[in-house]
Structure 1
């Protein structure tokens, strides 16, 4: 035994790269095992995709992106800047290589494998939030159904088909169809154009920025350190320790290191032998006032827009833009969301919007996140959750902390092996 190893064989210390929901959850659950943690981030807590997303905790809708219809839709709208799925004109060879791999996984066989791989995370994700709440994370989660809106019953068939496929793979989802009048009773923002709906029970939502900051506060209160402005440029494993070097030249060493830096993951994980790429699928959001209170989350599947009660207003989120994670916000993407949703929702004051935001969501080509040990001793990764990082972040941290401390990989993480 050495200074970096506890008497039970687990690590004494760990450094986590990334102060978003996934990294902070991993740090929190490592603390539950008695590990001393340091979290580093190049910016600040919740500075990436963990702040402006829709805030859904929605295991019922955590469906893999690599469905065959997504490929058909993407090819049809490739040159349409206003489409929900957008790839800007670019000479980025790495992006086109990634999209080629993604397209190769848009088959029903690959989708089934991704769906089955994600099921254990979805089954336990809400329980992991409950553990955090019981352990002192003060931000609340709100139980509420998600109501999907459609202009006709025929348009609802696509979502119903997806839900049936997930339940056929073993997912537990409670849902029912709604008439237009039923939808307007349950979702007063639904416009007269809405003729049908689907209501998913057993879901929740949060203020994602507030929740992530509360999680960071809990990590600190439990003795952890969070260092912002620490931009990691190198990861160096040694015997029984790992050293991270920042661009400033600062060093941090610990028994184990967890790379959980979202859409920037591949820059560091490649050094640890991870060959599955992660690219930014950027999402946009903004907040708008409404004439009437919003009782719960509303989903517009046909235009791929998610709406959530947020600070006495409505947060509206949408699009999947394959662009560099640090690219500037494109106001045309915001306008496209407004144009697509305006006719479907009433009593929304679109011209009074605020908090316009873009955030990079880490996407893998095969629809499965990367969670577990790498080829570099003592180095682990946690990322690539796509649109479902908030939903799956705490359960990811709980399972990965177990693997790091015990040396035994939970069965749920086997299909998510970063070295696959």
Structure 2
């Protein structure tokens, strides 16, 4: 490497560490700007939280996790085995320190700042998907409202109040309360226990594994190299960056992007003071005996249901802990127990594709996106539950910063060195 490592200030080549929705979106938009891209991942495309999540592109629900009500809910349910939020009893000091920072950032003022910081990503997320699909990412994306269901109108009012506060803090939401025949028409699977619903318009859904696989295929077809590599170090070299694997293999380029999801902090502690921890989510697929007209949200159970391939994907839980830990069957049973009373015609005993994936969670509700070493090393991660929603627009904004050297106003609030 040397003086010819850049063209008009932009890097000729970039290594992207991480082949999930954020890393591959960054790679794709870098290619749009003429950059030669290499993508490395310790397992392969969509191997982390991108594979079997709920598949929602839901800007109206991209509410930062440090919402004060979430803290109150979490404190009430912290050690309940049936609760959707779980912290292991043997949690170490690092996790407790993270949770303490999360609690400190659950003040209303900190949450409003997180809403304002994420709002531009939500405003542009649909368009970013449109760009990908219109330019060769061959996977379906479906427009549909998300419908939240409740036992009582009072329960529905709590979500409506949360959405109003979300709107007032900077993100408009368009929704309608449903009861009676309108509710049954919208959600045919709703049981007799469901008395109210909220239809949230302007959302989308997709099969995340299929979409991210198609995105990875498009990146490779456009000339990228894709390597399986367990990265242990990313370092600037003065005129570029070097990526080192566990087996001693090294790759060099003019710059590198660390987009390794829940494992982000393992590669960035020398630069970043904001930790990223794994909030593990579970999902499984079940057959249904009736039509599913669109995504169904159960806020009280913290469960998301998505129609996929004539079945229903059911996803939920926020389990803090080791991103590489195995599935805990009790968490799946807890999701079933919380969801069964509200949905009829679901064959719970026939569930398949049981999965757990680690979401990368930051303690202040803001992702970490931007430069950490001048013109050579960048990061993108910490989106929490909204990586699928915000991944493509994050990639587009970061690709712009990498190639122009200018930090946009949108990314200023997401600065990883904050």
TM-score by length of 2: 0.98
Matched, 1:263 2:262: yes
Mapped pair 1:417 → 2:415: yes
Residue 336 (structure 1) aligns with: 334
2:404 paired residue number: 406
Alpha-carbon distance between aligned partners in 1 of 2:142 and 2:267, rounded to the nearest angstrom? 35
User: 1:356 Cα shift?
Assistant: 0.2
In the alignment, does 2:349 pair up with 1:348?
Answer: no
What is the number of residues matched between the two proteins?
A: 417
- The 3-state SS of whatever aligns with 1:319 is strand
Query: Secondary structure of the equivalent of 2:364?
Result: coil
CA distance in 2, matches of 1:375, 1:37: 19
1:141 aligns with 2:141: yes
> Does residue 237 of structure 2 align to residue 238 of structure 1?
yes
* Residue 91 of structure 1, CA deviation: 4.2
User: Do the aligned partners of 2:303 and 2:335 also contact (CA within 8 Å) in 1?
Assistant: yes
- Aligned residue in 2 for 1:361: 359
The one-character-per-residue Cα deviations of 1:306-362 (angstroms, maximum 9, x if unpaired) are: 000011100000010001100110000000000000000000000000000000000
Runs of 4+, deviation exceeding 2 Å: none
Does residue 115 (structure 1) correspond to residue 115 (structure 2)? The answer is yes
Equivalent residues of 1:151, 1:193 under 8 A apart: yes
Q: Is the 8 A contact 1:140 1:206 kept in 2?
A: yes
- The secondary structure found in structure 1 opposite 2:209 is helix
Q: Which residue of 1 aligns with 2:288?
A: 290
- What is the CA–CA distance in structure 2 between the aligned matches of 1:183 and 1:326, rounded to whole Å? 40
The superposition leaves residues 92-144 of structure 1 with CA deviations (integer Å, 9 ceiling, x where unpaired) of 11000000000111111111000000000000000000000111101111000
After superposition, the C-alpha distances for 1:257-303 in whole angstroms (9 at most, x for unaligned) are: 000000000010113x1110000000000000000121100000011
Q: Distance in 2 between matches of 1:277 and 1:375?
A: 17
1:169, distance to aligned residue in structure 2 (A) = 2.2
**Corresponding residue of 1:3:** 4
Unaligned runs of 5+ in 2: none
Tell me if 1:248 matches 2:247.
Answer: yes
Shift of 1:182: 1.6
* Structure-1 residue corresponding to 2:182: 182
User: Is residue 103 of structure 2 the alignment partner of residue 94 of structure 1?
Assistant: no
The answer to whether the aligner puts 1:80 opposite 2:59 as a matched pair is no
- SS of residue in 2 equivalent to 1:382: strand
The residue aligned with 2:394 is 396
Check the 8 A contact 1:371/1:381 in 2, yes or no: yes
TM-score by length of structure 1 reads 0.98
**Aligned equivalents of 2:291 and 2:302: distance in 1?**
22
Deviations 1:203-238 (A, max 9, x none): 00000000000000000110011112x011111211
Output the CA distance in 1 between the equivalents of 2:385 and 2:35.
Answer: 29
1:205 corresponds to 2:205: yes
Provide the rounded CA distance (Å) in 2 between the counterparts of 1:163 and 1:231.
41
Pairs within 5 Å for 1:293-304: 293-304=291-302
Structure 1: runs of 5+ lacking an equivalent: none
CA distance in 2, matches of 1:54, 1:91: 27
* Match in the other structure for 2:56: 56
Cα offset, 1:376, TM superposition: 5.5
CA distance in 2, matches of 1:375, 1:15: 14
Tell me the C-alpha RMSD between the 2 structures.
Answer: 0.9
Does residue 226 of structure 1 match 2:226? yes
CA distance in 2 between partners of 1:380 and 1:51 (Å): 24
Is 1:315 aligned to 2:313, yes or no?
yes
Give yes or no for contact 1:64–1:111 (8 Å, CA) kept in 2: yes
Deviation at 1:181, TM superposition (A): 2.8
Structure 2 residue matching 1:416: 3-state secondary structure: coil
Distance 2:280 2:203 in 1: 24
Secondary structure of the structure 2 residue equivalent to 1:49: coil
Q: In structure 2, what is the Cα distance between the partners aligned to 1:149 and 1:101?
A: 32
Measure the CA separation in 2 of the matches of 1:168 and 1:13: 42
